[in-house]
Amino acid sequence: MGAGVMDNGGGGGTRRWGRRRSRGGAKPMAEINVTPFVDVMLVLLIIFMVAAPLLTVGVPVELPETAADPLPTEQEEPLTVTLTGDGRVLLQSNETESDDLVRQLRAIAAERSSNRVYLRADGAVSYAQVAEVMGALNAGGFGNIGLVTDSGGRRLDGTDE
């Protein structure tokens, strides 16, 4: 039993140990492996899908319940004005002074294509305060006012939904 050199049928010359010839040499791989990239993107997509609903911060308001049908959705983000139980007025989520509300609404109306605004008013707020804010919305250029309520309220025909 002995060790030997096996000839692979090459060109007949002698082969020297330690030197190996190859015709093209080792070429670097020029492809990008996209599998880790896709994995990272899918993980980020899932994270943002879970986190996005948590980013909508609202103002706690006890909305009255009605039996009205919901309004259809719009293309652009709806403008929301909130009237809290303690009388504060919020434009989207930013508190604003009542005296400055009409000026801010006019500036916003100049940039928007829709004149629709949603008014959220706490159930404890008087009708006079709600009417004042609605007048300011109208003076600010928003004539299409939707009142936001919770569903499941009492119907006027005596039945509950």
pLDDT at position 3: 56
Global confidence as pTM: 0.52
Decide if 61 is inside a domain.
Answer: no
Decide if 68 is inside a domain.
Answer: no
Alpha-carbon gap, residue 70 to 17, rounded angstroms: 85
pLDDT at position 149: 78
pLDDT at position 32: 82
Decide if 125 is inside a domain.
Answer: yes
CATH number at residue 100: 3.30.420.270
Decide if 110 is inside a domain.
Answer: yes
Going residue by residue through the chain, which has 161 residues, state the pLDDT in tens, using 9 for 90 and above: 455 555 555 555 555 555 555 566 677 777 888 898 999 999 999 998 888 877 766 667 777 777 777 666 656 677 888 888 888 888 888 888 878 888 888 888 888 877 888 888 888 888 888 888 888 888 888 888 888 877 776 777 766 55
* Total domains in the fold of the chain: 1
For 120-138, give one letter per residue: b (16+ CB within 10 A) or e: bbbeebeeeeeeebbebbb
Domain of 130 in residue numbering reads as: 79-148
Decide if 95 is inside a domain.
Answer: yes
pLDDT at position 45: 94
pLDDT at position 54: 72
Decide if 119 is inside a domain.
Answer: yes
